[in-house]
């Protein structure tokens, strides 16, 4: 079965044609990428994309915000999408799915080449798994196994409160609280969060911030050309591991924890040791945490593949 799939985040929109085969095999056409600030409306973008296809196909869009399948207000983008109105306007069936619900579905399509293992653990294929990922925001989904396939329970876990574990993080929380009031995990584990961490570390080091763009900050961290950038990214990694471990405890995620999103693969050399160490640092439950597989997802198309699996789930039983 073929379906048009999209992944609409806070920064980019990606579209492709997915061909779903037997089981969880998904083949994608070349992915078309668009910067959201350059798009003249989602309806125009979809109309142009659909007009280039030889035949009509259903559409499933993974969107970065809470949705019941028909409406969404994106969390980190000033867009509102009405799938019913779009379907009527374009003459095609359109469905919305939360972007990390799509990642949860897409975790079924991963193979060994699509992940980097931080901790092999002792996987239980029938136990829950957690997918989370830092990008423009922080996405989270808990997944449960049903009929041999993981299905996500969509939520907004990226907005749980930040929980400091040491004096440095206590100071970070106070610093961020002065700006945001309540401080969620997403305020740190995201692109804007990296910029905030950098400003915080510059203050601690009595250093004037030289950058604000998270891409510049992470480049400096990888090059080790800016001390505050290096310490900011290492703090990011520690908190990433802590939050991933906390979510694993909540879900009982013996089926594994998967870190998706665009940031982790780019910063793998700096992140992996810190994330793995903090993931298991759970006091009396540290040994239990060592049994949980921890993977970084390398496949950038996991959300698109997941949207395709979600769209065809009822047709495959």
**pLDDT for 41-89, tens place per residue?**
788 899 999 999 878 899 999 998 899 999 999 887 888 999 999 999 9
CATH, residue 226: 3.40.367.20
* E strand or H helix that includes residue 231: helix 227-251
Q: How confident is the model at residue 317 (pLDDT cuts 50, 70, 90)?
A: very low
Task: Indicate whether 66 and 37 sit together in one domain.
Answer: yes
User: What is the distance between the alpha carbons of residues 12 and 38, in angstroms, rounded to a whole number?
Assistant: 10
d(CA 243, CA 277): 12
Residue 24: what pLDDT? 87
- Is there a single domain that holds both residue 14 and residue 70? yes
Residues 6+ apart with CB under 8 A from 276: 118, 119, 241, 294
Give one word for 85, left, alpha or beta, with left for phi > 0 and alpha for psi -120 to 50: alpha
| Tokens linked to 245 | 């471990």
Q: Is 268 exposed, middle or buried (0-12, 13-18, 19+ CB in 10 A)?
A: middle
pLDDT > 90 fraction of the chain, expressed in percent and rounded: 83
Q: Which domain holds residue 255?
A: 157-297
Average pLDDT of the chain is 94
For the cut 80, the answer to whether the pLDDT of residue 314 exceeds it is no
Give strand ranges (E) for 21-104: 26-28, 32-35, 59-63, 71-73, 80-82, 94-98
Q: Which residues pair with 14 in a beta bridge?
A: 7, 33
Look up residue 203 and give its two tokens.
């203050």
Using alpha carbons, select from 117, 157, 161 the residue that is nearest to residue 272.
Answer: 117
Would you call 52 helix, strand, or coil by DSSP?
coil
CA distance 216 to 223: 11
Instruction: Report the Cα 189 to chain-centroid distance in Å.
Output: 10
Residue 315 has pLDDT above 70, yes or no: no
How far apart are the C-alpha atoms of 97 and 61, rounded to whole Å? 6
pLDDT reported for residue 78: 84
Non-local (6+) Cβ contacts of 304 within 8 A are 5, 6, 7, 14, 16, 18, 28, 31, 62, 102, 106
**pLDDT, tens digit, for every residue of 108-135?**
999 999 999 999 999 999 999 999 999 9
Q: Give the C-alpha separation, 63 to 221, whole Å.
A: 30
Interval 191-219: pLDDT, tens: 999 999 999 999 999 999 999 999 999 99
Report whether pLDDT(271) > 60. Answer: yes
Q: Is the pLDDT of residue 273 over 50?
A: yes
The answer as to whether 246 is a domain residue is yes
124 neighbors 234 (Cβ within 8 angstroms): no
187 shares a domain with 106: no
Q: Are residues 309 and 196 in the same domain?
A: no
pLDDT (tens digit, 9 = 90+) per residue, 36-51?
889 877 888 999 999 9
CA 103/CA 101 separation, integer angstroms: 5
- From 77, 78, 129, 131, select the one nearest 103 (Cα to Cα): 131
The number of distinct structural domains making up the chain is 2
Are residues 305 and 247 part of one domain? no
Q: CA-based Rg of the chain, rounded to a whole angstrom?
A: 20
- Residue 288 sits in the same domain as residue 310: no
Stretch 147-162: mean pLDDT, rounded?
92
Spatial neighbors of 202 by CB under 8 A, at least 6 apart, are 208, 209, 228
How distant, in Å, are the alpha carbons of 136, 197, 213 from that of 190?
A: 5, 10, 12
Residues 296, 268 contacting (CB under 8 angstroms): yes
Structural domain contains residue 145: no
228: its two tokens: 């505050």
Task: Please enumerate in sequence order all residues whose Cβ is within 8 A of that of 39, keeping only pairs 6 or more positions apart, or say none.
Answer: 13, 45
Whether residue 312 is found in the same domain as residue 262: no
Residues 291 and 256 in one domain: yes
Q: Which helix (H) or strand (E) holds 44?
A: helix 42-51
Q: Are residues 197 and 81 in the same domain?
A: no
The pLDDT confidence band at residue 5, using thresholds 50, 70 and 90, is very high
CATH number at residue 100: 3.30.420.40
pLDDT of res. 246? 98
First to last CA, the chain: 14
């Amino acid at each position: 079965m073929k379906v048009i799939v999209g992944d609409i985040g806070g920064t980019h929109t990606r579209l492709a044609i997915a061909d779903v085969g037997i089981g969880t095999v998904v083949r994608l056409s070349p992915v078309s990428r668009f910067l959201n600030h350059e798009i003249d409306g989602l309806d125009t973008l979809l109309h142009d994309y659909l007009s280039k296809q030889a035949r009509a196909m259903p559409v499933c869009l993974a969107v970065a915000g809470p949705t019941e399948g028909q409406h969404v207000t994106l969390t980190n983008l000033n867009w509102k999408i009405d799938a019913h109105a779009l379907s009527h306007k374009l003459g095609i069936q359109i469905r919305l799915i939360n972007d990390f619900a799509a990642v949860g579905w897409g975790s079924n399509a991963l193979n060994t080449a699509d992940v980097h293992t931080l901790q092999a653990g002792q996987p239980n294929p029938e136990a829950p798994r957690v997918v989370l990922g830092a990008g423009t925001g922080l996405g989270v989904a808990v997944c449960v196994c049903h009929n041999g396939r993981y299905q996500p329970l969509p939520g907004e876990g990226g907005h749980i409160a930040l929980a400091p574990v040491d004096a440095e993080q206590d100071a970070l929380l106070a610093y961020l609280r002065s700006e945001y009031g309540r401080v969620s995990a997403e305020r740190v584990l995201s692109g804007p969060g990296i910029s905030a961490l950098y400003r915080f570390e510059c203050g601690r080091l009595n250093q004037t911030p030289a950058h604000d763009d998270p891409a510049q900050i992470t480049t400096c961290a990888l090059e080790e050309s800016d001390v505050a950038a290096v310490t900011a990214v290492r703090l990011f990694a520690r908190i990433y591991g802590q939050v991933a471990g906390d979510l694993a405890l909540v879900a009982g995620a013996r089926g594994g924890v998967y870190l998706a999103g665009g940031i982790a693969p780019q910063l793998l050399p700096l992140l992996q040791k810190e994330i793995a160490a903090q993931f298991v640092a759970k006091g009396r439950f540290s040994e239990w945490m060592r049994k949980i597989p921890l993977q970084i997802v390398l496949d950038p198309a996991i959300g698109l593949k997941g949207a395709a699996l979600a769209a065809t789930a009822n047709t495959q039983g």
